[in-house]
């Protein structure tokens, strides 16, 4: 197959894969199109078998890590961690919607950073809906905070987002150094989001609320908390020892799984379902299709747009390009395309890509798979997301958060060193 034909085929298949992920016709999983599309690009020669195998090997550990974190988050939910957190938020809010927003920001930021953005979208958003209903407050500001923070607050740790896991090896950083460099951009991004959301939803936050619920505070599931803390410590120790953090994630998930199975709170089938195997297959299939597109010309075209330096202006340009690409083709394909082009420039360029693909998706529905999933959860609660409102909020939050987060990254690189 000629280069032009291979590039065209890969592009059409990528659009089909992303279209299925967005629309999910008849409720079919994303992998229904992604896996056959990967087979087509291999079968037609749009990508060589060696390159497809190399891409699968590169994504394999990342996919395994993601499966372990998803199981860990689901088991934490079944232990009652998120329900207890909702109860504490309801009591701590004191009947004040603005105070509740602060608590949602704090909880969503920590949940996203530690248990990944999927936990915030899938497990925390329903809790926020329930907490708002208990207090009689308007849920919109708090629910929007969940989706914005599932993206923006995923900057802190390599485990917070699949994009981070993909970038960790390319950046050549340890777990702790990654976190140190991204801590300031993480705080700045969250701060900008809070200021924007508080002003944007000022009317909703000024509405009345019910008094906090009476009775004793909900009991926190200490076993789950200790397991999560131990898993986090395992991430750091594994990184220092040169071992994949995936082993720490598997260990944490295994501890909670054994406990849940022994108490008959879950089943092996439920654990497999929590691992989201169809989504993992989607990630592998998508990675191979994107690699085919990169091999057949996309890398060359984008290479001309990436600046050669790593100063502040260059980092801003890289982050802006990453954000634009994420909103055009989704953040996961965007990071797969941009990592090989920016890795030779150093860790600063790779981290700037992450700022773009993690903050940028708050601008459009299709920018992030987490946002698409959040929309479905909102509809399940008989609420509706207005496209115009979502976009206006994104236009206010994304440019400011991205600009200031890049400046914060530049400061971190100059003070800590890449």
**Is the confidence at residue 1, as pLDDT, over 70?**
no
At which residue do the structure tokens 């941009």 appear?
338
* Residue 88's pLDDT band (cuts 50, 70, 90): confident
The torsion angle over the Cα atoms of residues 192, 197, 198 and 201, rounded to 10 degrees, is: 160
* pLDDT score, position 214: 66
- In tens, the pLDDT along 273-289 reads 988 888 889 889 988 99
CB atoms within 10 A of CB 241: 9
DSSP helix/strand/coil, 326 = helix
Higher pLDDT, 245 or 315: 315
- In tens, the pLDDT along 155-173 reads 999 888 889 988 987 888 8
Nearest to 335 by CA among 348, 322, 324, 346: 322
Q: What is the mean pLDDT of residues 131-151?
A: 91
**Measured distance CA(53)–CA(55) in Å, rounded:** 5
> How far are the Cα atoms of 119, 162, 199, 214, 233 from residue 281, in angstroms, in the given order?
19, 14, 41, 46, 29
318-329 burial string, b = 16+ CB within 10 Å, else e?
bbbbbbbbbbeb
Higher pLDDT, 15 or 180: 180
- CB neighbours of 77 closer than 8 A, spacing ≥ 6? 83, 119, 123
> How far are the Cα atoms of 63, 182, 336, 341, 369 from residue 332, in angstroms, in the given order?
13, 19, 6, 15, 8
- 5-8's contacts with Cβ under 8 Å and 24+ in sequence apart are 6/41, 6/44, 6/45, 6/46, 6/47, 6/292, 6/295, 6/296, 7/293, 7/296, 7/297, 7/298
* Residue 305's pLDDT band (cuts 50, 70, 90): confident
* pLDDT score, position 371: 85
- The per-type count for the chain, helices as H runs and strands as E runs, is 21, 0
* Residue 119's pLDDT band (cuts 50, 70, 90): confident
- Specify whether the CB–CB gap between 63 and 31 falls below 8 A: no
* Residue 212's pLDDT band (cuts 50, 70, 90): low
- In tens, the pLDDT along 373-391 reads 788 788 777 677 788 899 9
- CB neighbours of 175 closer than 8 A, spacing ≥ 6? 157, 158, 168, 235, 236, 238, 239, 240, 245
Burial (0-12, 13-18, 19+ Cβ within 10 Å), 180 = middle
**Measured distance CA(109)–CA(189) in Å, rounded:** 11
Mean pLDDT score of the chain, rounded to an integer?
88
* pLDDT score, position 215: 67
> How far are the Cα atoms of 15, 258, 342, 369 from residue 330, in angstroms, in the given order?
10, 36, 18, 7
**Is the confidence at residue 418, as pLDDT, over 70?**
no
* pLDDT score, position 50: 92
- In tens, the pLDDT along 41-82 reads 999 999 999 999 998 988 888 788 888 888 988 898 888 888
Higher pLDDT, 12 or 123: 12
- In tens, the pLDDT along 217-252 reads 677 889 998 998 998 888 888 877 878 778 888 999
- List the chain domain ranges: 1-46+277-296
Q: What DSSP designation does 363 have?
A: G
Q: What is the mean pLDDT of residues 331-352?
A: 91
């Amino acid at each position: 197959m000629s280069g032009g034909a291979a590039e065209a085929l890969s592009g059409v298949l990528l659009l089909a894969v992303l279209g299925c992920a967005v629309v999910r016709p008849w409720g079919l999983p994303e992998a229904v199109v992604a896996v056959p599309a990967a087979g087509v690009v291999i079968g037609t020669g749009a990508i060589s078998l060696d390159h497809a195998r190399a891409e699968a090997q590169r994504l394999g550990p990342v996919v395994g890590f993601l499966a372990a974190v998803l199981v860990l988050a689901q088991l934490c939910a079944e232990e009652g961690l998120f329900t207890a957190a909702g109860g504490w938020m309801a009591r701590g809010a004191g009947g004040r919607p603005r105070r509740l927003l602060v608590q949602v920001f704090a909880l969503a930021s920590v949940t996203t950073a530690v248990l990944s953005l999927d936990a915030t979208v899938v497990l925390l958003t329903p809790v926020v809906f329930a907490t708002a209903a208990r207090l009689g407050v308007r849920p919109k500001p708090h629910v929007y905070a969940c989706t914005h923070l599932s993206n923006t607050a995923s900057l802190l740790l390599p485990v917070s987002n699949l994009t981070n896991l993909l970038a960790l090896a390319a950046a050549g950083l340890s777990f702790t150094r990654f976190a140190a460099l991204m801590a300031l951009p993480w705080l700045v991004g969250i701060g900008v989001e809070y200021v924007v959301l508080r002003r944007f939803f000022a009317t909703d936050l000024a509405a009345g609320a019910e008094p906090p619920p009476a009775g004793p505070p909900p009991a926190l599931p200490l076993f789950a908390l200790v397991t999560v803390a131990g898993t986090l410590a395992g991430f750091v120790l594994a990184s220092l020892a040169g071992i994949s953090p995936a082993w720490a994630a598997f260990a944490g998930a295994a501890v909670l799984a054994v406990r849940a199975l022994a108490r008959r709170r879950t089943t092996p089938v439920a654990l497999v379902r929590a691992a989201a195997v169809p989504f993992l297959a989607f990630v592998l299939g998508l990675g191979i299709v994107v690699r085919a597109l990169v091999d057949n010309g996309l890398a060359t075209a984008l290479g001309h747009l990436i600046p050669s330096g790593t100063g502040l202006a260059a980092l801003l340009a890289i982050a802006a390009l990453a954000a634009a690409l994420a909103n055009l083709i989704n953040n996961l394909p965007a990071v797969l395309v941009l990592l090989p082009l920016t890795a030779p420039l150093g860790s600063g360029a790779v981290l700037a890509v992450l700022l773009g693909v993690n903050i940028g998706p708050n601008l459009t529905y299709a920018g992030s798979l987490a946002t698409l999933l959040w929309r479905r959860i909102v509809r399940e609660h008989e609420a509706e997301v207005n496209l115009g409102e979502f976009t206006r909020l994104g236009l206010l939050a994304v440019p400011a958060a991205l600009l200031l987060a890049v400046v914060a990254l530049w400061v971190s690189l100059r003070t800590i060193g890449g």
